[in-house]
């Protein structure tokens, strides 16, 4: 009987430890997302070298690119920044590697209606022959319906380049898919812009 009690107690301890680890991982993920959101809210300038998830240097930039209209949604593109840098300790370097090459979009969004679907996955870029289908979830702020209710909300989309060095980039092709209505219909047309760098 004593051994049975000890076995049950051991099971509870294992579950408790793993439960705490999972909870801690979830909290760290939320903290990373909040740090990115705060960074975007504090400044439209992607030239900051004190980014909370690492240390990055802007190699090239193109600012004040105008406003893009996608049906009831408008996106004011404050700047596109080509950056290289290093991720902080503890971040998933096994995915991106220690040194990273980034394309960072700084923008502000306004929506006439919020009963629509529009998220990070609506953004994609192409640099030379390399196509990146969506921004990094770790290094980008999230766009979601509640956020669209905020007027002139800052947002940041960060794409990780795996095959291209930003020093060699002369242009970035940006594609933004239109928002989707509750009925599943696109609200507006897809936008494709070529952003050049000197």
| Alpha-carbon span 5 to 28, nearest angstrom | 35
60 forms bridges with which residues in the sheet?
82
Average pLDDT over every residue of 74-83: 95
Parent domain of 186:
12-17+21-196
> Cβ-count burial of 86 within 10 angstroms (0-12 exposed, 13-18 middle, 19+ buried)?
middle
Q: What is the pLDDT of residue 138?
A: 85
**Assigned domain for 6 exists:** no
Q: What is the pLDDT of residue 179?
A: 93
pTM for the model? 0.74
- Per the CB < 8 A criterion, the answer to whether 125 and 132 are in contact is yes
Highest mean pLDDT among 8-17, 37-46, 81-90: 81-90
Q: For 79-101, how does the pLDDT look when each residue is reduced to its tens digit (9 = 90+)?
A: 999 999 988 776 666 566 678 99
- Looking at the structure of the chain, the number of domains it has is 1
**Assigned domain for 149 exists:** yes
Q: For 121-176, how does the pLDDT look when each residue is reduced to its tens digit (9 = 90+)?
A: 999 999 999 999 999 988 898 887 666 667 778 899 999 999 999 999 999 999 99
Specify the CATH number for the domain of residue 74: 2.60.40
What is the H or E stretch that residue 195 is in? strand 191-196
82 forms bridges with which residues in the sheet?
60, 103
Highest mean pLDDT among 32-36, 40-44, 66-70, 110-114: 66-70
Cα-based torsion angle of the residue sequence 101, 48, 44, 64 in order, rounded to the nearest 10 degrees: -70
């Amino acid at each position: 009987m004593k051994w049975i009690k000890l076995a049950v107690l051991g099971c509870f301890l294992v579950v408790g430890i793993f439960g705490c680890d999972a909870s801690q991982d979830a909290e760290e993920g939320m903290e990373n997302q909040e740090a990115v959101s705060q960074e975007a809210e504090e400044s439209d300038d992607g030239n900051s070298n004190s980014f909370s998830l690492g240390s990055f240097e802007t190699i090239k930039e193109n600012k004040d690119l105008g406003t893009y209209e996608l049906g009831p949604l408008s996106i004011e593109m404050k700047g596109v920044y080509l950056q290289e840098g290093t991720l902080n300790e503890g971040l998933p370097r096994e995915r991106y590697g220690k040194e990273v090459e980034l394309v960072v979009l700084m923008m502000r969004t306004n929506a006439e209606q919020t009963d629509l679907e529009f998220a990070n996955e609506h953004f994609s870029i192409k640099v030379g022959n390399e196509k990146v289908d969506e921004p990094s979830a770790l290094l980008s702020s999230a766009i979601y319906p509640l956020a669209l209710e905020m007027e002139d909300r800052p947002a940041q989309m960060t794409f990780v380049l795996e095959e291209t060095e930003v020093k060699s980039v002369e242009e970035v092709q940006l594609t933004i898919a239109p928002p989707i209505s509750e009925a599943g219909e696109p609200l507006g047309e897809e936008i494709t812009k070529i952003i050049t760098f000197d």
